[in-house]
Amino acid sequence: MKDRAPASYAKPLPVPDPDTQPFWDACARHELRVQRCTSCASFRWPPGPLCSHCRSWDFEWAKVDGTGKVYSYVIVHYSVVPAFATEMPYVVAQVTLDGTQEAVRMTTNIVEIPPDEVTVGMPVAVAFEDVTPEISLAKFRPTG
């Protein structure tokens, strides 16, 4: 997968921190993993050290299927970041991941579909984009 990453990437990159590094490591392997409390089994997003339901510090990085549904979205027609200029219009969406008790709503891009064809409730699946040797972005494309 790493040989597909472009030599340079002009857009802003995520900066992993101790809470998010396992997520980015999984994305680099083309796995979608989210935190699940091992005390009460609640999923949570974004990553963090503490369960908001039971206050436990214990958790695992659970692998999920990478399917979900568009919860909401916007179509971006103007960006203050010049690196995105060639991509407009593009879709920024929140996707509710299947198998997470609807607790994980991930902010992402919807790709491989004209922006005006995206709908709320549309089923989608993760489509990793390798942007550097270390970073793969979890974007989503329509299924079916």
Residues forming contacts to Zn ion in the complex (CB under 5 A) are 37, 39-40, 42, 51, 53-54, 56
Nearer to Zn ion, 6 or 57 (CB): 57
Query: Which residue, 42 or 108, is less far from Zn ion as judged by CB?
Result: 42
CB of 40 to Zn ion, least distance (A): 3
**Minimal distance in Å, beta carbon 62 to Zn ion?**
13
Q: For residues 144 and 67, is the Cβ–Cβ distance under 8 A?
A: no
Which has the closest alpha carbon to 38: 25, 22, 54, 26? 54
Structure tokens at 16: 């992993």
Quote the least distance from Cβ 97 to Zn ion, whole Å.
18
For residue 12, whether the previous peptide bond is cis, meaning omega lies within 30 degrees of 0, is no
Name which of 39 and 72 has its Cβ closer to Zn ion.
39
Beta-carbon count within 10 A of 55 CB: 10
